[in-house]
A and B are shown apart, each in its own frame.
Chain A
Amino acid sequence: MTAQEIFDILKTQFGDAIIETKFDTMQPWVRIAPNKTKEICFFLRDDSAMQFDYLSCLSGMDYNTGTFGVVYHLASIVHKHKIVLKAFCTKDNPHIQSVSAVWGTANWHEREVFDLYGIIFDEHPDLRRLLMPDDWEGHPLRKDYKVQEFYHGMKVPY
């Protein structure tokens, strides 16, 4: 199935939650609303024509304009097609609905995104820091991140 077909099916199913698509790039993507990601992903996983049963990757993005995003790379082992979903949110309201109920692997991927970007995933079962120590200040991969001077008596910058 091409990205255009997937976009059409999603648009008829969900209407306003599907915002735009860009299918002339190497990896065609569909932009979805951040508060409906779980519904859309359940549909993508369970629908017999799509069956995206494999979440290849879930990554965070900081677009440097005050917008954050989460990029989902989905693949279907049954039908052998792929799609990329993007969900954007602002820095002031960094909330995106979690998809860890859809694919179990999203649990730790979303924890990593929370740890490094500060995007809060609603309805996530266990949202806490994964890579950085638990009492670290700040979210390191943000574009405006300044590393802290001291951590438990150790000097952090060079």
Chain B
Amino acid sequence: MGLLDQRFENGNVFITSLDGLLNWARLSSLWQMQFGLACCAIEMMAASASNFDIMRFGVIPRATPRQVDVMFVAGTVTIKMASRIKRLYDQMSEPRYVISVGSCATCGGPYWEHGYHVLKGVDRVIPVDVYIPGCPPRPEALLEGIMKLQEKVRKESMVKKRA
């Protein structure tokens, strides 16, 4: 192909695969369903505010599960709340991801030993993609969690079988 050989090396053309394009589109606009339950919700609010600003990553808060891609489970998940979380996760549309923020949502947190009312980790009811440890995690940790999820989305493919 002598016509196209070494013509576009100055960086003025951008090629991609369909997978790459779709994945880029999805990871740049991960709309979130804010599910702030307890103290980690304050850190999520701090991350959404101007100092750390998750909106510049494309993460817009929506109130309904139908229009979101990712659910931030931020806070202690009680057993009473767990059935509602399951129902809301069911009502999200694919492709859907879950980020568990803080140690209560990851493993029960400080309530792991004596908390009869706490679900020890939200992954007992819904599948989680990214775990963010911390009690509560700093907003920078939340941003790192979002970026990890973006990396995960970048590697997805339409033809590969997903877990």
Contact = CB atoms under 8 A, between A and B. Distances in A.
CB–CB under 8 A between A and B in the complex?
yes
Interface of A: 131-133, 140, 145, 147, 151-152, 154-158
Contacts, number: 27
B83 interface: yes
Interface string B108-140: 100011001101100011000000000000000
Contacts of B108: 158
B80 A132 contact: yes
A131 B124 contact: no
Given A155-B124, A158-B108, A158-B120, A133 B113 contact: no
A14 B136 CA distance: 54
Nearest to A132: B117
A140 B116 CA distance: 7
Contacts of A152: 83
A68 to B, nearest CB: 18
Contacts of B119: 154, 156
A104 to B, nearest CB: 25
Contacts of A133: 79-80
Nearest to B121: A158
Contacts of B116: 140, 145, 147, 156
B112 A158 contact: yes
Interface in B70-122: 79-80, 82-83, 108, 112-113, 116-117, 119-120
A104 B128 CA distance: 44
B82 A154 contact: yes
A147 B108 CA distance: 15
Contacts of B83: 152
A48 to B, nearest CB: 44
